[in-house]
C-alpha cells in the first residue's frame, strides 16, 4: 500500500503516519518528491486496510498494491484449477457446455430439454427450481418438486445437473439433488449465501453480479474458497452499462483478464449477457475464441411459451448448431496450440 | 403493452399475434403505419409479461406501457405515505436524520456515538451488528451482542434504532431488538430477504442496489409491500458509474423522480453515495434541497480507528454542523412552501 | 410513435393531443385501456420529433417506434454494403486487417511498422499524423510531415493508408494523402467533422464514441451518409463502463447487433477496446468469431519506446500470430457457412 | 509515479527499470516488500508518461501519483478564480444564473425569452446559433443570423450573451458577437476546438462530456488554459449511466469534488442533467446547496412549440420561481457562512 501525502503535508504529519504504520508492525518506506511525499507500507503480504490511514492528518490518498484476494489469485496458485461437473473437469481450456431451460416448468418440458441437451452433445443440464424473479408476481419456481424432476432427468440422460440456490437455509436441500450449485448475479454479494455454499461440498457456479468489478467478483469467490470449498467456477453473464440495445453488455474482456488473475475456470453465459436468442450463437463462438472454459446456454423446447427468459432461449435445433460451432472453434485453438491464458 | 411488428411482417403473422393476445383474454388494437404495424395490448391493468409475445414470428420488439409495480406506485396510492421510525413519521418532506457508526464495534464506541447523535438533534441511531463485507477477512460484526448494545443505547438516549438484516433466518432475531430493519444495497435483489422483511412488522429501510434502476428499486419495494408490510422507506445511496473520483455517484435525480413515481418516503445516504467525509455535508444539503424526506449519515467518535467506513464517517462536531445546515435548508423550503414532490 | 397519456388525463386532453397530431398531417390511432389511453401516431415513415408532443397537457411519455436513422438502416438497404480500402472490399464477412502504429513518429518507425504489417499478411496500414491527445503536453503528431511518410510507406509496400482527421478544415489535406479517413471516438459527435467527411470522396472509418449507444453510433454514420458519402465503415473500440480492469469494455454484443440493424461493415479495434497488449489476440479472435468484417490493430516495432499507446501495441511477431489466428477462425466460419449476420 | 513489479520479477528486471528511470533524469526509490518490489519515480513535478515503463519486463502495473493537469489544479493556484460574464464575476460561491432557449429560433422567441430572463433577475442570456444535433435531419440553428439576434437581445436587456461554438474556424466569428463561448458536452474532447477557444479572449463555458471523468474534464480545461485563456467556467450537465429514468444522471458529487481539485468556477445545468422540466427546480436547488457557483437553465416562452429541448425547458413563470428558490438557498449558505469549497 502506498500512502500519498498532500503537497501541503508537514514533516510532523509525515512522521505521525510513519509511527502509525509501525504501530501495526509494518514497515514504512519514504519517497520524497519535489511535490509530495509518498510512504510505502510494507508488510508480510496480508492485505492492509486502507481505512487505518486514510483519516490521518496530511494524507491525500491511499493506493493499494496487493490484491485483496489470495486463495483465488493465480499468484498464490499458478496452475489452472480443474473443477468437476459430474465426470467432466472444467478448466484449462476445457469447453464444457451446460444447457437447459431457465426454469423447471413441468416434467415434460424438462425431460424434452434434457434430451435435446444430451443429443446436441452438451455436458450438463441446467434448470431453476427456486427462481429469483424481479417481480413478486412472476412464477417463482417449482421448489423441491423441481429438484426431483431434475434428478429424474439426470437419471434418464446421465447429465449432471446445475441449479440455483437463493437462500442459505435451502443449500443442504439443493445440495442433496444437484451436482452444481449456481449462485445468480443478484446474489453475488449475498455473503450469507456465499458462506453456505463454501461450507457445502458441491461445485459452485458463481455468476458475476451486474455491476461487480472483476475485483468484486474474485472477492466473492474468495468467500467460498475461504470456507473450504475449492470447487468454484466463475461465469461472466454480462454487466450493466449505458447501452440498452441488449439486455446486458457481455464483458468479453473479462475472460482473458480473469485467466491472467485467477486459476479458477471461467465460463460464459451468452443467453443472459445478450438477452436475445438471435445473438447467442455469435457470442458463444466469441467466448470460446476468447478462451472461455465453457458455456452456459438457455435451451427451451418451446421458447414462445416459456414461463421465463423465452426471449433469450434457443430451440433445440439452434442449440445443436451452437454446440457444433463452439467445438469447431475450440478445435482451431487446440490445433494451433493457443492457450486459454494469454501469453505475457 | 405495444407489440411492434417488423416492417417485413406478413398479414398472417399479425393475425397470429392478435389471436395470441386474445387467448389471454386481452384486447388487441391495431395501428397500421406506412412502415409497420403496431398492436396495442389492452387489459385490466395487471402487468402483462412481454415474454408471452416476443418470440412470435414477425414480432420486432415489445414496449411496456404500464408500470410493473402497483402497490408502490403513486398512481395506485396518490398520498404521501408516512412511515414510522419510533415516534417520528417519515414522508411528505419530513427531514428525519439517522446517524451512527457503520458497525457496532464496542459498548464505548456505540454509546459515545449515540450520545453524539442525540446531542446533534438527530432522530434515530444506526449501527450494524451483522455486516456484509466485501472481504471474508474483514470484521463481520458483533452479531447478537451488537443488537444488545443497540438496545442499551436506545434505553439511554431514547433514540429508535436502525440495523441491517443480511439473511432471512435472522430477521426474527433482529426484529426483536430493532425499530427499523435495513436492507443493504448488495441485498436489494435478495428476494428471500425481501420476503422475510415483508412478513415482519418492522419498518424497512431499503437501500438502492449499486446498479439498480429506479424501476428495479421500486420492484424490490413491491416485494416487501406485497407480503403485507406497508412501512417501507427508500434510500438512495449512490450508484456505480464510470466515475472513480468518488466511491459511488449520488443519483440526486432519483429523489424528485421517485417522488413523482411513488408515495413511499425517500432518504439520502451521502456517506455511502460519496465515500468521502469531506463531501458528506455538501451532499446532505443538496439532498434536502432536492426534496429528500431525511438523511442517513455515518458518525463515529474516532473515524481514524473505525473498523469500517472510517473514510466516510463524520466526527460528532461535523455531524452537528450538518444537522444544522440540513435544518436551515429544510426551513427555507417550508417557508417558501416548496413541496418535496415536483409540481407537474 | 406512441403517445402515452397519464392515467389522470381528461377526454379534452386526449382530444387536444389528437388535434395536434393531425395538425402535422399525421394520423392518430386510439387505444383505450382500463388504466390509460395510448395514441399511436402514424405517418409516412419519416421520424417524428417527440418534442412536438411531450409538453402537451395530460401526456405522460412518448415511445418512438421508427428508427431515427434511415440511410444507415438495413431495413432501408437490406444487402451488405461493400466498402473499399484500396483494392480490398470490406463487408459481408470480409476479415480485412488494418495494422500500424498509433502515431507516425519517424520515417524509420513507420517504414519498419509498414513492412511488419505487410509481412504478416495484413491489408492496410494505419498511423496518426494529427493526434487527439488527452493532455495538451503530449506529442500531438507530425502533421503533414506524417502524411508524407504514410504516402511513402504506401509507395513501398502497396498497402493503402488509414489516418485520422481531427478538424474539418484539415479534411481536404488529409484526403489528398490517405485512402481512408478515420474519425476517432472523441470526435464521433463532432458534427462539423462528420459533415466534412461526408463531403469527401474517401472511405471513412468511424469509431464508436466512448459513451455512444448503438443508436447514437448509427446516427453519426447517418450524418456522413446524408452528405453523399456512402463509404462508411463502423468500428467498435470499447465503451466506458464501471469496470477499470481494462481501459475500456469491448462491447462485443455490438457486432452482431449492428449486423442486424445496418448494412454497413463493422470492424473491431481490440487494441483500444482493451488497452492491454496481452489481451489483444484473444479479443481479435473473439471479434472475428462474432462476425466482424475486420480488425484494427496497433503494431509498433518497439512498444517500450512508443510515443503513444505503447501499453496496447503489439510487436511484429505477435501481430503475425494474431493475423494467423484470425484467419484460422475466419476459415472455420466460412467452412461451416456461418453468416456474419445472425440468422433470425 | 509508482512502478509495481510482478511478484515474479527478477533482480535484473528491477535494475533494468531503475536504469530506465534514471535515463530520463528522474530518481528511483525502492520499496522491497515480502511479495513484490515497488519503485517510486521521483521527478520535478511534471507528469511522467506511464507508457515509458509499462512495457518493461517484470513490470506489473503503474500507479500515477501526480495529477496530469497543472494550470487547472488548486494545488497550483489555491485561490478561487473569478471569471467574468459581462460585468458579473463567477466563482467563490457567486450564484450567477444563465437562462435562455436551447436554440435561437426567431426574433420574437429570443426577445421574449431575454425579457423573461431579465425580469426573473437572472444574469446572462444563453441561446444556440450553431447547434450540434444528434440527427442530420433536425434544425441546425440560424447561424450568423442567430448571433445577430443575440446581440440585439443584449442591446435591449443589457444581459451578456452565451452561445455555443462547434467548429474551430467559426470561433472568431462567434467571439465577435458573444460574451461567453460555450463548448458543448459532445465537443469536450474536440481538441482543435479547445485550442481555438484557448486562443480567444472570451470567457469559455466548458461543459462536461457525457462520459468524461472529472480527470478528463480538468484535462480539457487544461487545454484551454495552456493556450493562454484563463477564463474558463466548468459546467456539470449530467453523465451517462445505466439509469434511463432521466436523460442523464446529474453527478452532483462532482460539484464539491471539483471545488477541492480546481480553482475554476463550477456551474450546474439541471436542464440537460435531467432532461425533464419537472425536475429542473429541485436540481437547481440541490446544485446551489452543494456549492455550485451558478446555474444554466433552459427557458422558452412556449416549450410545447420549441424546435429543440422542449421537454426540459421551463416557462418564464417557473424560471422566475427557480431563481427565487436558488437565491433563498444561497442566502442560507451565506448567512451560515458555509464555503462553496468543502472544509478539509
ipTM value for the complex: 0.94
Is B74 part of a structural domain of the chain? Answer: no
Report the alpha-carbon angle C290-C292-C297, nearest 5: 115
Is D341 part of a structural domain of the chain? Answer: no
Q: Is B257 on the interface with D (CB under 8 A)?
A: yes
C-alpha cell at C101: 502504429
Q: Look at the block and give the residue holding cell 427531514.
A: B95
How many A-C residue pairs are in contact by the CB < 8 A criterion?
143
pLDDT mean across residues, chain B: 94
* Total number of domains constituting chain B: 2
CB atoms within 10 A of CB D50: 17
Residues 25-44 of C with CB under 8 A from D: none
Q: Are residues A58 and A201 in the same domain?
A: no
CA distances from B34 to B3, C42, C46, C47, D344 (A): 16, 7, 10, 12, 62
Q: What is the mean pLDDT of residues A189-201?
A: 96
Report which of residues B154 and A48 the model is more confident about: B154
Q: Which chain C residue has the Cα nearest residue B249?
A: C242
pLDDT band at D76 (very low <50, low <70, confident <90, very high): confident
Residues 199-218 of D with CB under 8 A from B: 211, 213-215
Q: What is the pLDDT of residue A33?
A: 73
Residues of chain C positioned with their CB less than 8 A from the CB of D192:
166-167
A51: pLDDT strictly greater than 90: no
Q: Are residues D22 and D126 in the same domain?
A: no
Give dist(CA B7, CA B10) in Å, integer: 9
pTM, whole model, 2 decimals? 0.95
How many B-D residue pairs are in contact by the CB < 8 A criterion?
144
Interface touch B281/D246, C-beta < 8 Å: no
D44: pLDDT strictly greater than 80: no
Q: Which chain C residue has the Cα nearest residue A244?
A: C213
pLDDT band at D45 (very low <50, low <70, confident <90, very high): low
| B51, B133, B192 member nearest A167 (Cβ) | B192
Q: Are residues A177 and A273 in the same domain?
A: yes
Indicate the DSSP class of residue C136: T
| A136, A138, A169 member nearest B169 (Cβ) | A169
Strands A27-32 and A37-42: antiparallel
Sign of CA pseudo-dihedral D19, D25, D30, D35: negative
- With a CB cutoff of 8 Å and minimum separation 6, the contacts of B310 are A51, A52, A54, A55, B300, B303, B304
* Probe site for chain C from A208, A211, A252, A318 (most C CB atoms < 10 A): A252
Q: What is the pLDDT of residues D268-280, one digit of tens each?
A: 999 999 999 999 9
- Residue D38 sits at φ, ψ, to 5 deg, of -120, 135
Residues 309-328 of D with CB under 8 A from C: 309-311
CB atoms within 10 A of CB A97: 24
* Domain at C21, CATH number: 3.30.70.1140
Interface touch C242/A282, C-beta < 8 Å: no
CB crowding A8-24: b at 16 or more within 10 Å, else e: ebeeebbebbbebbeee
Q: What is the mean pLDDT of residues B98-103?
A: 97
Q: What is the pLDDT of residue B45?
A: 66
pLDDT mean across residues, chain C: 94
A47: pLDDT strictly greater than 80: no
**Residue A340 in contact with residue A234, Cβ under 8 Å?**
no
CA neighbor of D63 nearest in space, from D22, D12, D137, D2: D2
Q: What is the pLDDT of residue D78?
A: 93
Chains that touch C (3 or more CB pairs under 8 A): A, B, D
A158: pLDDT strictly greater than 70: yes
Q: Are residues D10 and D88 in the same domain?
A: no
Q: What is the mean pLDDT of residues C280-302?
A: 97
C-alpha of C282 from chain center: 21
- The 3-state DSSP composition of chain C as helix, strand, coil percent (nearest 5) reads 40, 20, 40
B342: pLDDT strictly greater than 70: yes
Q: Look at the block and give the residue holding cell 399525421.
A: C26
Residues 67-86 of C with CB under 8 A from B: 75
CA distance D109 to chain C (A): 16
C-alpha cell at D173: 466569428
CA distance C308 to chain B (A): 23
Q: Are residues A119 and A263 in the same domain?
A: yes
Q: What is the pLDDT of residue A67?
A: 85
> Which H helix or E strand runs over D60?
strand D59-63
Give dist(CA B267, CA D321) in Å, integer: 25
Is A344 part of a structural domain of the chain? Answer: no
Q: What is the pLDDT of residues B191-204, one digit of tens each?
A: 999 999 999 999 99
Q: What is the pLDDT of residue C122?
A: 98
First-to-last C-alpha distance (Å) of chain B: 25
**Residue C61 in contact with residue B75, Cβ under 8 Å?**
no
A63: pLDDT strictly greater than 90: no
Give B103-106 contacts, CB < 8 A, sequence gap 24+.
B103/B127, B103/B128, B103/B129, B103/B131, B103/B139, B103/B141, B103/B142, B103/B146, B103/B306, B103/B307, B103/B308, B103/B309, B104/B128, B104/B129, B104/B141, B104/B142, B104/B146, B104/B149, B104/B150, B105/B139, B105/B142, B105/B306, B105/B307, B106/B149
Indicate the DSSP class of residue D217: H
pLDDT mean across residues, chain D: 94
C-alpha cell at C5: 397519456
What domain range is C292 assigned to?
83-335
Query: Of the given ranges (A129-138, B25-34, B68-77), which has the lowest mean pLDDT?
Result: B25-34
Residues of chain C above pLDDT 70, percent: 99
**Residue C279 in contact with residue C238, Cβ under 8 Å?**
no
Question: Partners of D181 in the beta sheet?
Answer: D163, D204
Q: Are residues D58 and D100 in the same domain?
A: no
Q: Are residues A57 and A88 in the same domain?
A: no
| C7, C65, C242 member nearest B38 (Cβ) | C65
Indicate the DSSP class of residue A238: -
CB atoms within 10 A of CB B78: 9
Q: What is the mean pLDDT of residues A196-213?
A: 97
Rg (CA), chain C: 23
D265: pLDDT strictly greater than 90: yes
C76: pLDDT strictly greater than 70: yes
B124: pLDDT strictly greater than 70: yes
> Which H helix or E strand runs over B14?
helix B11-23
* Domain at B270, CATH number: 3.20.20.70
Q: What is the pLDDT of residue C45?
A: 66
Query: Of the given ranges (B333-342, C151-160, D292-301), which has the lowest mean pLDDT?
Result: B333-342
Among C63, C92, C112, the domain-final residue is C63
DSSP state letters, A251-293:
BTTHHHHHHHHBSS-EEE-HHHHH--HHHHHHHHHHHHHHT-S
Residues 166-185 of B with CB under 8 A from C: none
Q: Are residues C53 and C98 in the same domain?
A: no
- With a CB cutoff of 8 Å and minimum separation 6, the contacts of D279 are B253, B256, B257, B342, D246, D270
Q: What is the pLDDT of residues C86-99, one digit of tens each?
A: 999 999 989 999 99
Q: What is the mean pLDDT of residues C42-61?
A: 82
Q: Which chain B residue has the Cα nearest residue A245?
A: B61
Residues of chain C positioned with their CB less than 8 A from the CB of B31:
29, 31, 40, 42
**Residue A206 in contact with residue A221, Cβ under 8 Å?**
yes
- Beta strands (DSSP E) in C64-108 are 83-85, 88-90, 96-100
**Residue A283 in contact with residue C290, Cβ under 8 Å?**
yes
Q: What is the pLDDT of residue C14?
A: 94
Interface touch A169/B168, C-beta < 8 Å: yes
Is D77 part of a structural domain of the chain? Answer: no
* Probe site for chain A from D44, D56, D242 (most A CB atoms < 10 A): D242
Is C137 part of a structural domain of the chain? Answer: yes
Angle of helix A214-226 versus helix A254-261 axis, rounded to 10 = 40
CA distance B173 to chain D (A): 36
**Residue D69 in contact with residue D226, Cβ under 8 Å?**
no
Query: Of the given ranges (A268-272, B53-57, C221-225, D232-236), which has the lowest mean pLDDT?
Result: B53-57
Query: Of the given ranges (C44-53, D220-229, D316-325), which has the lowest mean pLDDT?
Result: C44-53
pLDDT band at D33 (very low <50, low <70, confident <90, very high): confident
Indicate the DSSP class of residue A159: -
Q: What is the mean pLDDT of residues D152-173?
A: 97
| D242, D283, D285 member nearest B211 (Cβ) | D242
C-alpha of D210 from chain center: 11
A239: pLDDT strictly greater than 80: yes
C-alpha cell at C52: 412536438
How many B-C residue pairs are in contact by the CB < 8 A criterion?
67
CA distance C270 to chain B (A): 20
Give dist(CA A121, CA A295) in Å, integer: 13
C-alpha of C225 from chain center: 13
Strand order in the sheet with D2-5: D27-32, D37-42, D2-5, D59-63
Q: Are residues B148 and B218 in the same domain?
A: yes
Q: Are residues B160 and B281 in the same domain?
A: yes
Is C218 part of a structural domain of the chain? Answer: yes
Q: What is the pLDDT of residue C52?
A: 83
**Residue D165 in contact with residue C168, Cβ under 8 Å?**
no
Strands B294-298 and C59-63: unpaired
Give dist(CA D287, CA D277) in Å, integer: 15
Is D72 part of a structural domain of the chain? Answer: no
Is C141 part of a structural domain of the chain? Answer: yes
C-alpha cell at B253: 435525480
Q: What is the pLDDT of residues A283-294, one digit of tens each?
A: 999 999 999 999
Q: Are residues D165 and D235 in the same domain?
A: yes
Q: Is C329 on the interface with A (CB under 8 A)?
A: yes
Q: Are residues A92 and A193 in the same domain?
A: yes
Amino acid at each position: 500500500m502506498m500512502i500519498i501525502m498532500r503537497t501541503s503535508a508537514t514533516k510532523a504529519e509525515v512522521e505521525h503516519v510513519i509511527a502509525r504504520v509501525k504501530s501495526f508492525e509494518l514497515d514504512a518506506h519514504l519517497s520524497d518528491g519535489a511535490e509530495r511525499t509518498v510512504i510505502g507500507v510494507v508488510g508480510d503480504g496480508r492485505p492492509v486496510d486502507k481505512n487505518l490511514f486514510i483519516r490521518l492528518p496530511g494524507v491525500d490518498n491511499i493506493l493499494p498494491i496487493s490484491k485483496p484476494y489470495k486463495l483465488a489469485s493465480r499468484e498464490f496458485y499458478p496452475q489452472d484449477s480443474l473443477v468437476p461437473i459430474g465426470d467432466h473437469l472444467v478448466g484449462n481450456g476445457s469447453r464444457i457446455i451446460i444447457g437447459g431451460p431457465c426454469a423447471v416448468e413441468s416434467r415434460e418440458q424438462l425431460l424434452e430439454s434434457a434430451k435435446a441437451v444430451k443429443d446436441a452433445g452438451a455436458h450438463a443440464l441446467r434448470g431453476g427450481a427456486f427462481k429469483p424473479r424481479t417481480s413478486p408476481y412472476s412464477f417463482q419456481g417449482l421448489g423441491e418438486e423441481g429438484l426431483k424432476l431434475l434428478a429424474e432427468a439426470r437419471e434418464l440422460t446421465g447429465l449432471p445437473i446445475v441449479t440455483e440456490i437463493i437462500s442459505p437455509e435451502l443449500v443442504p436441500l439443493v445440495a442433496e439433488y444437484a451436482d452444481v450449485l449456481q449462485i445468480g448475479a443478484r446474489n453475488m454479494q449475498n455473503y450469507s449465501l456465499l458462506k453456505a455454499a463454501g461450507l457445502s461440498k458441491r461445485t459452485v457456479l458463481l455468476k458475476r453480479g451486474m455491476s461487480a468489478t472483476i475485483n468484486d467478483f474474485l472477492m466473492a469467490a474468495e468467500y467460498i474458497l475461504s470456507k473450504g470449498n475449492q470447487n468454484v467456477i466463475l461465469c461472466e453473464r454480462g454487466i450493466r452499462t449505458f447501452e440498452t440495445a441488449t439486455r446486458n453488455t457481455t464483458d468479453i474482456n473479462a475472460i482473458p483478464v480473469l485467466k491472467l488473475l485467477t486459476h479458477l475456470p471461467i465460463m460464459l453465459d451468452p443467453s443472459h449477457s445478450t438477452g436475445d436468442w438471435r445473438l447467442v450463437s455469435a457470442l458463444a463462438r466469441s467466448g470460446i475464441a476468447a478462451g472461455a472454459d465453457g458455456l452456459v446456454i438457455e435451451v427451451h423446447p418451446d421458447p414462445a411459451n416459456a414461463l421465463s427468459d423465452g426471449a433469450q432461449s434457443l430451440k433445440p435445433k439452434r442449440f445443436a448448431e451452437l454446440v457444433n460451432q463452439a467445438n469447431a472453434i475450440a478445435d482451431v485453438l487446440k490445433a494451433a496450440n493457443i492457450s486459454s491464458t494469454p501469453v505475457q
